[in-house]
Amino acid sequence: MDIQQPPVTQQSTAEDAPSASEIPNVPVLDLTGGPFAVIESDPGVFTTLTRKLGISGLEVVEIYDIEPWAVDHLRPRGLFFCFLWHKDHHRPSDFKDPAAERVWFANQLIDDACASQAILNVALNCPDIDISRELKNFRVETESMSSVVRDSSEITLTQCTDHP
């Protein structure tokens, strides 16, 4: 999947973490029986996860090349790169891009949330993807938050126990 304007990577610190009062009271979604269980990096599993998150009309497929001939027919909305990330020493100011200010992006702050994180970072940037009322409200409520606070809000969203 391909977002047209990729987000700017931002480093987070403990001071950036939100207090309990800053995290919105958002309905929680039970994804896999636990907050962020380890799941297989499989397109079918990711597609099922999109449905459980309240996203319809989106399918995750595995690709082996990002050349136009290999992906254009898929009409991609974003890409998930499944690999272990190592912290680098770049500063957010190294990547200033005015277009990035319009991108909804949440930093990943906890382990095993990469699939949920990737799906939400793509779905909340694509107006043509059908998302649930809860996700629409979540996007609106978190638009003015930093990417670090958004991630903490996302944890609240994804820990729900009731979902129709």
Q: Model confidence over 88-110: pLDDT tens digits? A: 777 767 777 777 777 777 777 67
Give whole-number Cα distances, 83 to 25, 34, 90, 115, in Å.
32, 22, 19, 11
What is the CB-side half-sphere exposure of residue 96 using CA atoms within 13 A? 1
- Domain 22-86+96-158: assigned CATH number: 3.40.532.10
Terminal Cα-to-Cα distance of the chain (whole angstroms): 27
Domain ranges of the chain: 22-86+96-158
pLDDT of 88 reads 76
Residue 51 — very low, low, confident or very high, per pLDDT cuts 50/70/90? very high
DSSP code of 30?
-
Max mean pLDDT among 8-12, 30-34, 106-110, 157-161 falls in 106-110
